[in-house]
Chain A
Amino acid sequence: MMLIPCPHCGPRDENEFRYGGQAGVAYPGTPAELTDDEWAGYVFRRDNPKGWFHERWYHVHGCRVWFTVERHTVTHEIRDAPS
Protein backbone atom coordinates (compact mmCIF):
# COMPACT_ATOMS: atom_id res chain seq x y z
CA MET A 1 0.00 0.00 0.00
CA MET A 2 1.35 3.41 -0.96
CA LEU A 3 1.40 6.49 1.25
CA ILE A 4 -0.01 9.31 -0.86
CA PRO A 5 0.56 12.94 0.11
CA CYS A 6 -2.77 14.75 0.18
CA PRO A 7 -2.14 18.52 0.00
CA HIS A 8 -4.68 19.05 2.78
CA CYS A 9 -4.32 15.99 5.06
CA GLY A 10 -0.70 14.97 4.53
CA PRO A 11 0.45 11.40 3.82
CA ARG A 12 -2.46 8.95 3.95
CA ASP A 13 -2.99 5.30 3.02
CA GLU A 14 -3.68 4.54 -0.63
CA ASN A 15 -7.05 2.95 0.12
CA GLU A 16 -8.43 6.34 1.19
CA PHE A 17 -8.01 7.55 -2.39
CA ARG A 18 -9.55 7.03 -5.78
CA TYR A 19 -7.34 7.10 -8.86
CA GLY A 20 -7.89 9.65 -11.61
CA GLY A 21 -5.37 8.67 -14.28
CA GLN A 22 -3.26 11.04 -16.36
CA ALA A 23 -3.20 14.64 -15.20
CA GLY A 24 -3.59 17.69 -17.40
CA VAL A 25 -5.84 16.28 -20.11
CA ALA A 26 -7.51 19.44 -21.38
CA TYR A 27 -10.88 19.57 -23.10
CA PRO A 28 -10.31 20.36 -26.79
CA GLY A 29 -10.23 24.09 -27.47
CA THR A 30 -12.14 23.82 -30.75
CA PRO A 31 -14.44 20.81 -30.29
CA ALA A 32 -16.51 21.50 -33.40
CA GLU A 33 -13.44 21.16 -35.60
CA LEU A 34 -12.14 17.84 -34.26
CA THR A 35 -11.92 14.79 -36.52
CA ASP A 36 -13.22 11.45 -35.24
CA ASP A 37 -9.66 10.33 -34.68
CA GLU A 38 -8.84 13.46 -32.69
CA TRP A 39 -11.90 12.78 -30.55
CA ALA A 40 -10.69 9.20 -30.07
CA GLY A 41 -7.41 10.66 -28.85
CA TYR A 42 -9.12 12.92 -26.34
CA VAL A 43 -11.57 10.29 -25.10
CA PHE A 44 -9.53 7.09 -25.21
CA ARG A 45 -5.79 7.62 -25.59
CA ARG A 46 -3.70 8.45 -22.53
CA ASP A 47 0.00 8.40 -21.75
CA ASN A 48 1.08 5.06 -20.29
CA PRO A 49 4.76 5.56 -19.49
CA LYS A 50 7.09 3.13 -17.80
CA GLY A 51 8.66 5.78 -15.59
CA TRP A 52 7.53 9.15 -14.21
CA PHE A 53 3.84 9.92 -14.63
CA HIS A 54 1.76 13.01 -13.79
CA GLU A 55 -1.47 11.67 -12.39
CA ARG A 56 -4.61 12.65 -10.49
CA TRP A 57 -5.74 11.35 -7.11
CA TYR A 58 -8.96 12.05 -5.23
CA HIS A 59 -9.03 11.87 -1.43
CA VAL A 60 -12.49 10.37 -1.49
CA HIS A 61 -12.47 9.00 2.08
CA GLY A 62 -10.87 12.13 3.48
CA CYS A 63 -11.11 15.79 2.58
CA ARG A 64 -12.39 15.04 -0.97
CA VAL A 65 -9.85 17.17 -2.77
CA TRP A 66 -8.48 16.35 -6.24
CA PHE A 67 -4.74 16.86 -6.74
CA THR A 68 -1.81 15.95 -8.97
CA VAL A 69 1.38 14.07 -8.14
CA GLU A 70 4.34 12.80 -10.11
CA ARG A 71 4.81 9.08 -9.44
CA HIS A 72 7.18 6.50 -10.92
CA THR A 73 5.22 3.60 -12.40
CA VAL A 74 7.91 1.01 -11.61
CA THR A 75 9.18 2.04 -8.16
CA HIS A 76 5.91 3.77 -7.11
CA GLU A 77 8.02 6.61 -5.64
CA ILE A 78 6.20 9.95 -5.50
CA ARG A 79 8.64 12.82 -6.08
CA ASP A 80 6.69 15.88 -7.06
CA ALA A 81 3.93 16.12 -4.54
CA PRO A 82 1.69 19.16 -4.12
CA SER A 83 2.79 21.45 -1.32
Chain B
Amino acid sequence: MTHPDFLWRDPDPRPAYDVVIVGGGGHGLATAYYLARDHGITNVAVLEKGWLAGGNMARNTTIIRSNYLWDESAALYEHSLRLWEGLSDELGYDLQFSQRGVLNLAHSVADVREGRRRVNANRLNGIDAEWLDAAEVKKFCPVLDVSGSARHPVLGATLQRRGGIAKHDHVAWALARRADAYGIDLIQDCEVTGFEITGGRVRAVRTSRGRIAAGKVALAAAGHTSVLAGHAGLRLPLQSHPLQALVSELLEPVLDCVVMSNAVHVYVSQAHKGELVMGAGIDACNSYGQRGAFHVIEAQMAAALELFPIFSRVRVLRTWAGVVDVSPDASPIIGPTPVDGLYVNAGWGTGGFKATPGAGSVYAHTIAHGVPHPLAEPFALERFATGALIDEHGAAAVAH
Protein backbone atom coordinates (compact mmCIF):
# COMPACT_ATOMS: atom_id res chain seq x y z
CA MET B 1 0.00 0.00 0.00
CA THR B 2 1.39 3.42 -0.89
CA HIS B 3 1.06 6.37 1.43
CA PRO B 4 -1.44 9.00 0.24
CA ASP B 5 -0.09 12.44 -0.63
CA PHE B 6 0.70 14.68 2.31
CA LEU B 7 -1.70 17.62 2.61
CA TRP B 8 0.98 20.04 3.84
CA ARG B 9 4.78 20.24 4.08
CA ASP B 10 6.38 19.78 7.50
CA PRO B 11 8.85 22.68 7.35
CA ASP B 12 11.50 23.81 9.83
CA PRO B 13 11.05 27.34 11.14
CA ARG B 14 12.72 30.19 9.27
CA PRO B 15 14.41 32.99 11.29
CA ALA B 16 11.69 35.60 10.68
CA TYR B 17 8.09 36.05 9.52
CA ASP B 18 5.73 38.98 9.03
CA VAL B 19 3.13 37.25 11.17
CA VAL B 20 3.60 34.43 13.67
CA ILE B 21 0.41 32.69 14.79
CA VAL B 22 0.71 30.80 18.09
CA GLY B 23 -1.49 27.71 18.09
CA GLY B 24 -2.31 25.37 15.22
CA GLY B 25 -5.92 24.59 16.06
CA GLY B 26 -8.89 25.53 13.94
CA HIS B 27 -8.64 29.24 14.71
CA GLY B 28 -4.90 29.47 14.04
CA LEU B 29 -5.26 27.64 10.73
CA ALA B 30 -8.30 29.65 9.64
CA THR B 31 -6.52 32.90 10.55
CA ALA B 32 -3.53 31.88 8.42
CA TYR B 33 -5.80 30.98 5.51
CA TYR B 34 -7.70 34.29 5.59
CA LEU B 35 -4.49 36.32 6.03
CA ALA B 36 -3.40 34.88 2.68
CA ARG B 37 -6.77 34.82 0.92
CA ASP B 38 -8.09 38.24 1.94
CA HIS B 39 -4.96 40.26 2.67
CA GLY B 40 -2.20 38.74 0.55
CA ILE B 41 -0.08 38.15 3.67
CA THR B 42 1.74 34.84 3.19
CA ASN B 43 5.04 35.29 5.03
CA VAL B 44 3.35 33.62 7.97
CA ALA B 45 4.13 30.77 10.35
CA VAL B 46 1.67 28.84 12.47
CA LEU B 47 3.52 27.44 15.51
CA GLU B 48 1.99 24.42 17.20
CA LYS B 49 3.43 22.81 20.31
CA GLY B 50 1.97 19.41 19.54
CA TRP B 51 0.60 18.16 16.26
CA LEU B 52 -1.69 20.20 14.07
CA ALA B 53 -5.25 20.47 15.38
CA GLY B 54 -4.73 18.04 18.24
CA GLY B 55 -6.21 20.35 20.89
CA ASN B 56 -9.84 21.36 21.17
CA MET B 57 -10.15 21.18 17.40
CA ALA B 58 -9.80 17.40 17.67
CA ARG B 59 -11.97 17.15 20.78
CA ASN B 60 -15.08 19.20 20.13
CA THR B 61 -18.56 17.99 19.32
CA THR B 62 -18.84 20.14 16.17
CA ILE B 63 -22.15 21.87 16.78
CA ILE B 64 -22.59 24.84 14.47
CA ARG B 65 -25.30 27.47 14.92
CA SER B 66 -25.69 31.23 14.97
CA ASN B 67 -28.80 31.73 17.09
CA TYR B 68 -27.14 33.81 19.81
CA LEU B 69 -29.14 36.39 21.73
CA TRP B 70 -27.26 39.67 21.47
CA ASP B 71 -26.75 41.67 18.27
CA GLU B 72 -22.94 41.56 18.51
CA SER B 73 -22.80 37.78 18.89
CA ALA B 74 -25.51 37.13 16.33
CA ALA B 75 -23.60 39.18 13.75
CA LEU B 76 -20.30 37.40 14.42
CA TYR B 77 -21.67 33.85 14.52
CA GLU B 78 -23.92 34.46 11.50
CA HIS B 79 -20.88 35.75 9.58
CA SER B 80 -19.26 32.43 10.44
CA LEU B 81 -22.29 30.35 9.47
CA ARG B 82 -22.42 32.06 6.07
CA LEU B 83 -18.76 31.19 5.54
CA TRP B 84 -19.49 27.56 6.51
CA GLU B 85 -22.18 27.46 3.83
CA GLY B 86 -19.59 27.95 1.10
CA LEU B 87 -16.53 26.43 2.73
CA SER B 88 -16.50 22.88 1.34
CA ASP B 89 -16.60 24.22 -2.23
CA GLU B 90 -14.12 26.97 -1.52
CA LEU B 91 -11.57 24.67 0.10
CA GLY B 92 -12.20 21.83 -2.34
CA TYR B 93 -12.73 19.38 0.49
CA ASP B 94 -15.87 17.66 1.75
CA LEU B 95 -16.23 19.04 5.27
CA GLN B 96 -19.37 16.94 5.84
CA PHE B 97 -21.10 20.15 6.82
CA SER B 98 -24.66 19.04 7.47
CA GLN B 99 -27.36 21.62 8.17
CA ARG B 100 -29.63 19.16 9.92
CA GLY B 101 -31.19 21.60 12.40
CA VAL B 102 -30.35 22.39 16.04
CA LEU B 103 -33.02 22.13 18.75
CA ASN B 104 -32.59 23.91 22.08
CA LEU B 105 -35.10 22.40 24.49
CA ALA B 106 -37.16 24.31 27.03
CA HIS B 107 -38.02 22.44 30.24
CA SER B 108 -39.58 25.21 32.30
CA VAL B 109 -41.70 28.31 31.85
CA ALA B 110 -38.54 30.39 32.25
CA ASP B 111 -36.85 28.36 29.49
CA VAL B 112 -39.89 28.91 27.24
CA ARG B 113 -39.73 32.67 27.77
CA GLU B 114 -35.99 32.75 27.08
CA GLY B 115 -36.39 30.58 24.01
CA ARG B 116 -39.16 32.69 22.52
CA ARG B 117 -37.25 35.84 23.27
CA ARG B 118 -34.20 34.44 21.50
CA VAL B 119 -36.27 33.40 18.47
CA ASN B 120 -37.59 36.96 18.20
CA ALA B 121 -34.15 38.48 18.68
CA ASN B 122 -32.69 36.16 16.04
CA ARG B 123 -35.41 37.04 13.52
CA LEU B 124 -34.82 40.75 14.04
CA ASN B 125 -31.20 40.04 13.15
CA GLY B 126 -32.16 38.16 9.99
CA ILE B 127 -31.23 34.78 11.44
CA ASP B 128 -33.52 31.82 10.81
CA ALA B 129 -35.26 30.79 14.03
CA GLU B 130 -38.46 28.99 14.88
CA TRP B 131 -40.34 28.18 18.04
CA LEU B 132 -41.72 24.62 18.21
CA ASP B 133 -44.28 23.49 20.76
CA ALA B 134 -43.94 20.05 22.34
CA ALA B 135 -45.95 18.28 19.62
CA GLU B 136 -43.88 19.91 16.91
CA VAL B 137 -40.69 18.93 18.73
CA LYS B 138 -41.90 15.31 18.80
CA LYS B 139 -42.54 15.45 15.07
CA PHE B 140 -39.11 16.92 14.35
CA CYS B 141 -37.30 14.50 16.67
CA PRO B 142 -39.43 11.39 17.32
CA VAL B 143 -36.95 9.66 19.66
CA LEU B 144 -37.25 12.43 22.28
CA ASP B 145 -39.51 11.77 25.27
CA VAL B 146 -41.89 14.73 25.35
CA SER B 147 -44.51 13.08 27.56
CA GLY B 148 -45.75 15.17 30.46
CA SER B 149 -44.45 12.62 32.96
CA ALA B 150 -40.83 12.89 31.78
CA ARG B 151 -38.20 13.81 34.37
CA HIS B 152 -37.26 16.81 32.21
CA PRO B 153 -40.56 17.72 30.52
CA VAL B 154 -40.16 19.23 27.06
CA LEU B 155 -42.36 22.31 26.84
CA GLY B 156 -41.03 23.39 23.48
CA ALA B 157 -37.80 24.19 21.70
CA THR B 158 -36.09 26.70 19.51
CA LEU B 159 -35.06 25.39 16.11
CA GLN B 160 -32.39 26.76 13.82
CA ARG B 161 -32.68 24.72 10.63
CA ARG B 162 -29.45 26.09 9.19
CA GLY B 163 -27.51 24.85 12.22
CA GLY B 164 -25.85 21.46 12.26
CA ILE B 165 -22.49 19.70 12.44
CA ALA B 166 -19.31 19.23 10.38
CA LYS B 167 -16.34 16.88 10.45
CA HIS B 168 -13.74 18.71 12.56
CA ASP B 169 -10.68 16.87 11.24
CA HIS B 170 -11.65 17.57 7.65
CA VAL B 171 -12.01 21.26 8.47
CA ALA B 172 -8.50 21.40 9.96
CA TRP B 173 -6.93 19.42 7.12
CA ALA B 174 -8.67 21.46 4.42
CA LEU B 175 -7.59 24.77 5.95
CA ALA B 176 -4.05 23.48 6.52
CA ARG B 177 -3.73 22.29 2.92
CA ARG B 178 -4.83 25.67 1.56
CA ALA B 179 -2.68 27.69 3.95
CA ASP B 180 0.31 25.53 3.02
CA ALA B 181 -0.41 26.01 -0.68
CA TYR B 182 -0.18 29.79 -0.12
CA GLY B 183 3.35 29.19 1.20
CA ILE B 184 2.49 29.53 4.87
CA ASP B 185 4.71 27.43 7.17
CA LEU B 186 2.77 25.11 9.48
CA ILE B 187 5.35 24.19 12.12
CA GLN B 188 4.55 21.39 14.53
CA ASP B 189 6.37 20.34 17.69
CA CYS B 190 7.25 23.99 18.27
CA GLU B 191 6.22 25.41 21.64
CA VAL B 192 6.28 29.14 22.24
CA THR B 193 7.96 29.69 25.61
CA GLY B 194 8.26 33.47 25.69
CA PHE B 195 8.29 36.78 23.84
CA GLU B 196 10.92 39.38 23.13
CA ILE B 197 9.32 42.72 23.88
CA THR B 198 11.26 45.99 23.61
CA GLY B 199 9.88 49.51 23.66
CA GLY B 200 6.40 48.13 24.29
CA ARG B 201 6.47 46.18 21.03
CA VAL B 202 6.78 42.45 20.42
CA ARG B 203 9.82 41.63 18.24
CA ALA B 204 10.15 37.86 18.36
CA VAL B 205 8.92 34.67 19.96
CA ARG B 206 11.13 32.25 21.85
CA THR B 207 10.32 28.65 21.05
CA SER B 208 11.48 25.12 21.73
CA ARG B 209 12.99 25.31 18.24
CA GLY B 210 14.78 28.63 18.71
CA ARG B 211 14.11 32.33 18.34
CA ILE B 212 11.75 33.44 15.56
CA ALA B 213 11.46 37.14 14.74
CA ALA B 214 7.97 38.40 14.02
CA GLY B 215 6.44 41.61 12.70
CA LYS B 216 3.23 40.67 14.47
CA VAL B 217 2.30 37.86 16.84
CA ALA B 218 -1.23 36.49 17.00
CA LEU B 219 -2.33 34.22 19.85
CA ALA B 220 -4.75 31.43 18.94
CA ALA B 221 -3.96 29.09 21.81
CA ALA B 222 -7.43 28.46 23.29
CA GLY B 223 -7.07 26.92 26.81
CA HIS B 224 -3.40 27.97 27.12
CA THR B 225 -3.92 31.65 26.33
CA SER B 226 -3.45 32.76 29.96
CA VAL B 227 -0.08 31.02 30.13
CA LEU B 228 1.12 32.73 26.94
CA ALA B 229 -0.30 36.11 27.89
CA GLY B 230 1.54 35.77 31.20
CA HIS B 231 4.85 35.49 29.27
CA ALA B 232 3.99 38.88 27.75
CA GLY B 233 3.15 40.40 31.14
CA LEU B 234 -0.60 40.42 30.47
CA ARG B 235 -3.36 39.22 32.76
CA LEU B 236 -6.50 38.30 30.85
CA PRO B 237 -10.01 37.66 32.18
CA LEU B 238 -9.88 33.93 31.34
CA GLN B 239 -10.14 30.72 33.34
CA SER B 240 -9.17 27.31 31.94
CA HIS B 241 -11.52 24.40 32.59
CA PRO B 242 -11.92 20.81 31.43
CA LEU B 243 -14.79 20.24 29.01
CA GLN B 244 -15.74 16.62 28.46
CA ALA B 245 -17.50 14.72 25.71
CA LEU B 246 -18.10 11.12 24.76
CA VAL B 247 -19.13 8.89 21.88
CA SER B 248 -21.14 5.69 21.82
CA GLU B 249 -20.53 2.60 19.76
CA LEU B 250 -21.68 2.87 16.12
CA LEU B 251 -25.42 2.70 15.58
CA GLU B 252 -27.81 2.66 12.64
CA PRO B 253 -29.19 6.14 11.88
CA VAL B 254 -31.53 7.06 14.73
CA LEU B 255 -31.12 10.81 15.31
CA ASP B 256 -31.02 13.20 12.35
CA CYS B 257 -30.80 16.54 14.15
CA VAL B 258 -28.83 18.12 17.01
CA VAL B 259 -30.58 18.29 20.36
CA MET B 260 -29.30 20.59 23.09
CA SER B 261 -30.66 21.06 26.58
CA ASN B 262 -29.11 23.92 28.45
CA ALA B 263 -31.01 23.30 31.65
CA VAL B 264 -29.77 19.73 32.10
CA HIS B 265 -26.37 20.34 30.49
CA VAL B 266 -26.46 17.76 27.76
CA TYR B 267 -26.47 17.75 24.02
CA VAL B 268 -26.55 14.96 21.47
CA SER B 269 -26.07 14.40 17.77
CA GLN B 270 -25.27 11.37 15.64
CA ALA B 271 -22.09 11.61 13.59
CA HIS B 272 -21.97 10.51 9.98
CA LYS B 273 -20.18 7.30 10.94
CA GLY B 274 -22.99 6.37 13.33
CA GLU B 275 -21.74 7.10 16.83
CA LEU B 276 -23.80 9.24 19.19
CA VAL B 277 -21.77 12.29 20.19
CA MET B 278 -22.65 13.76 23.58
CA GLY B 279 -21.24 16.61 25.58
CA ALA B 280 -21.73 18.18 28.96
CA GLY B 281 -21.00 21.45 30.72
CA ILE B 282 -17.52 22.30 32.00
CA ASP B 283 -16.01 20.74 35.10
CA ALA B 284 -16.23 23.45 37.76
CA CYS B 285 -12.58 23.70 38.81
CA ASN B 286 -9.66 25.19 36.89
CA SER B 287 -7.56 22.60 35.10
CA TYR B 288 -5.04 22.14 32.32
CA GLY B 289 -5.13 18.36 32.75
CA GLN B 290 -7.16 17.55 29.61
CA ARG B 291 -9.34 15.28 31.67
CA GLY B 292 -12.47 15.69 33.73
CA ALA B 293 -14.32 13.95 36.53
CA PHE B 294 -16.57 10.96 36.06
CA HIS B 295 -19.50 12.40 38.02
CA VAL B 296 -19.91 15.07 35.32
CA ILE B 297 -20.25 12.37 32.65
CA GLU B 298 -22.59 10.42 34.90
CA ALA B 299 -24.94 13.36 35.40
CA GLN B 300 -24.90 14.09 31.69
CA MET B 301 -25.75 10.48 30.80
CA ALA B 302 -28.54 10.40 33.38
CA ALA B 303 -30.11 13.46 31.78
CA ALA B 304 -29.62 12.09 28.27
CA LEU B 305 -31.38 8.84 29.17
CA GLU B 306 -34.33 10.74 30.59
CA LEU B 307 -34.65 12.65 27.32
CA PHE B 308 -33.93 9.64 25.08
CA PRO B 309 -35.13 6.46 26.81
CA ILE B 310 -34.36 4.58 23.56
CA PHE B 311 -30.62 5.06 24.23
CA SER B 312 -30.71 3.15 27.53
CA ARG B 313 -28.77 0.17 26.17
CA VAL B 314 -26.25 2.10 24.16
CA ARG B 315 -22.68 1.62 25.31
CA VAL B 316 -20.12 4.37 25.75
CA LEU B 317 -17.07 3.83 23.59
CA ARG B 318 -14.81 6.57 24.90
CA THR B 319 -14.78 9.83 26.85
CA TRP B 320 -12.23 12.63 26.74
CA ALA B 321 -11.73 16.29 27.62
CA GLY B 322 -10.21 19.45 26.24
CA VAL B 323 -9.01 22.58 28.04
CA VAL B 324 -11.37 25.47 27.33
CA ASP B 325 -10.74 29.15 27.98
CA VAL B 326 -13.83 30.63 29.61
CA SER B 327 -14.42 34.39 29.76
CA PRO B 328 -16.62 36.19 32.30
CA ASP B 329 -19.42 36.90 29.81
CA ALA B 330 -19.13 33.66 27.78
CA SER B 331 -18.10 35.71 24.76
CA PRO B 332 -14.74 35.67 23.00
CA ILE B 333 -11.96 38.25 23.27
CA ILE B 334 -10.62 39.38 19.88
CA GLY B 335 -8.27 42.24 19.13
CA PRO B 336 -5.07 44.12 19.90
CA THR B 337 -3.46 43.95 23.36
CA PRO B 338 -1.53 46.57 25.35
CA VAL B 339 1.66 45.16 23.74
CA ASP B 340 2.14 46.63 20.23
CA GLY B 341 2.00 43.98 17.55
CA LEU B 342 0.57 41.33 19.88
CA TYR B 343 -3.00 40.22 19.17
CA VAL B 344 -5.35 37.92 21.02
CA ASN B 345 -8.18 35.64 19.92
CA ALA B 346 -9.41 33.64 22.90
CA GLY B 347 -12.23 33.07 25.33
CA TRP B 348 -14.25 30.98 22.89
CA GLY B 349 -14.63 28.53 25.73
CA THR B 350 -17.09 25.78 24.98
CA GLY B 351 -18.31 27.14 21.65
CA GLY B 352 -15.57 28.18 19.27
CA PHE B 353 -15.66 25.41 16.67
CA LYS B 354 -18.67 26.96 14.99
CA ALA B 355 -16.72 30.20 14.77
CA THR B 356 -13.67 28.68 13.06
CA PRO B 357 -14.07 30.45 9.70
CA GLY B 358 -15.71 33.55 11.16
CA ALA B 359 -13.09 34.09 13.84
CA GLY B 360 -10.33 33.39 11.36
CA SER B 361 -11.64 35.98 8.93
CA VAL B 362 -12.20 38.81 11.43
CA TYR B 363 -8.96 38.05 13.28
CA ALA B 364 -6.96 38.07 10.04
CA HIS B 365 -8.50 41.44 9.17
CA THR B 366 -7.66 42.78 12.64
CA ILE B 367 -4.04 41.60 12.37
CA ALA B 368 -3.60 42.84 8.79
CA HIS B 369 -4.99 46.34 9.49
CA GLY B 370 -3.89 46.72 13.09
CA VAL B 371 -7.43 47.74 14.05
CA PRO B 372 -10.39 45.53 14.86
CA HIS B 373 -12.68 44.26 12.13
CA PRO B 374 -16.09 45.91 12.71
CA LEU B 375 -17.60 42.56 13.75
CA ALA B 376 -14.73 42.00 16.21
CA GLU B 377 -14.76 45.50 17.69
CA PRO B 378 -17.34 44.85 20.44
CA PHE B 379 -15.28 41.82 21.52
CA ALA B 380 -12.13 43.79 22.34
CA LEU B 381 -10.50 43.53 25.78
CA GLU B 382 -11.69 47.03 26.73
CA ARG B 383 -15.22 45.82 27.36
CA PHE B 384 -14.28 44.53 30.80
CA ALA B 385 -13.32 48.05 31.86
CA THR B 386 -16.14 49.89 30.09
CA GLY B 387 -18.72 47.37 31.26
CA ALA B 388 -20.07 46.76 27.75
CA LEU B 389 -20.21 43.00 28.28
CA ILE B 390 -21.84 40.67 25.79
CA ASP B 391 -23.46 38.32 28.23
CA GLU B 392 -24.34 35.09 26.48
CA HIS B 393 -24.74 33.09 29.69
CA GLY B 394 -28.50 33.45 29.70
CA ALA B 395 -30.22 32.16 26.64
CA ALA B 396 -27.26 30.24 25.34
CA ALA B 397 -26.29 28.88 28.76
CA VAL B 398 -24.28 25.93 27.45
CA ALA B 399 -22.59 27.86 24.72
CA HIS B 400 -21.61 25.04 22.37
Contact = CB atoms under 8 A, between A and B. Distances in A.
B235 A76 contact: no
Nearest to A2: B293
Contact of B384 (A44, A71, A76): A44
Contact of A37 (B238, B293, B328, B385): B385
Interface string A58-83: 00000000000001011110000000
Contacts of B295: 1, 13-15
Contacts of A2: 285, 293
B288 A46 contact: no
B239 A46 contact: yes
Contacts of A73: 240, 286-289
A34 to B, nearest CB: 11
A interface, over-half SS: mixed
B interface, over-half SS: loop
Interface residues of B, number: 23
A32 interface: no
Size range of the chain A interface in the assembly = 20 to 34
Contacts of B386: 36
Interface in B154-209: none
B288 A40 contact: no
Contacts of A21: 239, 286
Given A73-B287, A76-B287, A40 B293 contact: no
Contacts of B361: none
Nearest to B229: A48
Contacts of A44: 237, 328, 384
Given A14-B295, A40-B237, A48 B289 contact: no
B227 interface: yes
B195 to A, nearest CB: 17
Contacts of A36: 385-387
Interface in A7-36: 13-15, 18-19, 21, 36
B284 interface: yes
A48 B237 CA distance: 9
B255 interface: no
A49 to B, nearest CB: 8
B191 to A, nearest CB: 12
B244 to A, nearest CB: 12
B117 interface: no
Q: Which of A37, A48, A49 has the most B CB atoms < 10 Å from its CB? A: A48
Contacts of A48: 226-227, 236, 238-240, 286
A20 B238 CA distance: 15
B224 interface: yes
A45 B236 contact: yes
Contacts of B294: 1
A43 B286 CA distance: 17
A20 B288 CA distance: 17
Contacts of B237: 40, 44-46
A1 to B, nearest CB: 5
Given A41-B235, A55-B286, A73-B240, 18 more contacts: A1-B293, A1-B294, A2-B285, A19-B285, A21-B239, A40-B385, A44-B237, A44-B328, A45-B235, A48-B226, A48-B286, A49-B227, A50-B240, A50-B288, A53-B286, A73-B288, A74-B287, A75-B289
10 contacts: A13-B295, A14-B293, A21-B239, A37-B385, A40-B384, A50-B224, A50-B288, A55-B286, A73-B240, A73-B288
Interface of B: 224, 226-227, 235-240, 284-289, 293-295, 328, 384-387
Interface of A: 1-2, 13-15, 18-19, 21, 36-37, 39-41, 43-46, 48-50, 53, 55, 71, 73-76
